[in-house]
Structure 1
Amino acid sequence: MATLIYIADPLCSWCYGFGPELAGLLTGLPGLPIQFVVGGLRAYNKESMDQTQIDTIRSHWKAVEASTSLPFRNDGLLRTDFIYDTEPACRAVKAAEILAPATVFDVFHSIQHAFYADSRDMTQGSELAAVASAAMSAAGTPTDAAAFLQVWEDAATVRATGKDFLQTQRWGIDGFPTLVLERDGQLDLVTSGYMRTEALVEKMQALVDTESDAAA
């Protein structure tokens, strides 16, 4: 049985840009399971940004905006007192997975939109709980923000998040988004980085054709 493994971070700008492309691929592959692994782009960071870092991140955001036309607010959070730690947002995705696995992508995309388009601070538990619980409720799983926050704060959720980070490191993945096709324990890279839907479809077809040729 084939499974797609998506390794990403909700506060990774190219992962934000990749969302519509991945959605396009999945639309053409109904029923294909997909496993979400949070990558930890800047997990556990405790340092605020200097102006050079701000300028670098802003340039990345502008590149994603130009390539995808997705909304960005380039002010607000890009300031020298902001600590860009992605662990809390990654942990919110794991909390959603624990509470209602079917809502993981809804929560992931809602956190992205809140951060990049609305300039909401997705490093804070209360903000994450508000955004995630609203996304889960909209997806058909009524969820209270306080209940979500409790799961987000739970030690088991912290451990599950760290486990994903370690798995990402074991695979040798240091860039996001990354999409992998798993078949009978074999891992094949679909993409490491942003890729258009058409190219994703071509790569998936090439992997399937290669397997068919090997089996012939």
Structure 2
Amino acid sequence: MKLVLVADPMCSWCYGFGKEVTELQQAAPGLELRVVVGGLRPGETAVMPRHQRLARLEHWSRVEAASGLPFNREAFLANDNLVYDTEPACRAVVTARRLAPAIDQLAVLRSIQRAFYVDGRDITKGDVLADVAAAAMAGLGFAMTPAAFLAAWQSADAVAETRDDFLQARRWGVSSFPSLLLEDGDKLYSVAPGYIDATQLMSRVRTVAGSSAMAAARAEA
């Protein structure tokens, strides 16, 4: 069995949920997890106007209240040139996975999220993503330079694999982020179609894993 987290680095609820999934991993260290990027707003080309950024802060306040994680509102509001295209950040997660298949994908995702939500960096930019992701990979024991990461991120293969992730999420019927799934062989079970805290998450995983085991036992009977 393994967990599958469908998320987008520029989804604020995914940012909050990352903390809860990390706590789940700490409580169940043997449970493997992989990240599939969902593509919240890929391909956006228009600059996000200030009134839309202000509206986004209402979501941030709810995530902050639920998760306790900080947000840098000042930097977000100050970026008058922000194009809220989430594909580049999604592709950075995929690129790290391509370069180091054994890497802690959740840790990379959370590093990119922190760069945006806390450090106020524009993670729609390739050079910013290369700096952040290369540092995250190095911190996880995978030597990487920003230049090498950027070259891999710019590749056609990285673009294609990111698009494949988006399509896979839709084939699974995932329509909201974050979504946590449990994969057991060729079966996929929904654990959390949205944010819940770590305690609820652990309970859900146990329930779903138990149901999966019972279904397998019935199939073998």
TM-score class, shorter-chain normalisation, is: over 0.9
Tell me how far 1:213 sits from its aligned partner: 4.2
Q: Which residue of 2 aligns with 1:8?
A: 7
Partner-residue secondary structure (3-state), 1:166: helix
Query: Any stretches of 5+ residues in structure 2 without a counterpart?
Result: none
Q: Which residue of 1 aligns with 2:58?
A: 59
Tell me how far 1:142 sits from its aligned partner: 1.5
* Contact 1:96 1:103 survives alignment (8 Å): no
* Contact 1:54 1:80 survives alignment (8 Å): no
Q: In the aligned structure 1, how far is the partner of 2:90 from the partner of 2:156?
A: 14
Give matches, 1:84-123, under 5 Å: 84-101=84-101, 102-123=103-124
Cα-Cα RMSD: 1.5
Q: Which residue of 2 aligns with 1:46?
A: 45
Return closer, same or farther for 1:55/1:184 CA change in 2, 3 Å cut-off: same
Partner AA of 2:154 in structure 1: E
After TM superposition, which residue ranges in structure 1, 4 or more long, deviate above 4 angstroms?
Answer: none
Query: Any stretches of 5+ residues in structure 1 without a counterpart?
Result: none
Partner-residue secondary structure (3-state), 1:76: helix
Partner-residue secondary structure (3-state), 1:77: helix
Q: In the aligned structure 2, how far is the partner of 1:170 from the partner of 1:58?
A: 31
Q: In the aligned structure 1, how far is the partner of 2:52 from the partner of 2:119?
A: 21
Partner AA of 2:211 in structure 1: T
Q: Percent identity?
A: 44
Deviations 1:149-187 (A, max 9, x none): 000000000000000011111122121110001112111
Deviations 1:39-58 (A, max 9, x none): 11111111122344222211
Deviations 1:18-73 (A, max 9, x none): 11210111122222222210011111111122344222211111111122221111
Tell me how far 1:103 sits from its aligned partner: 4.0
* Contact 1:21 1:196 survives alignment (8 Å): yes
Normalising by structure 1, we get a TM-score of: 0.94
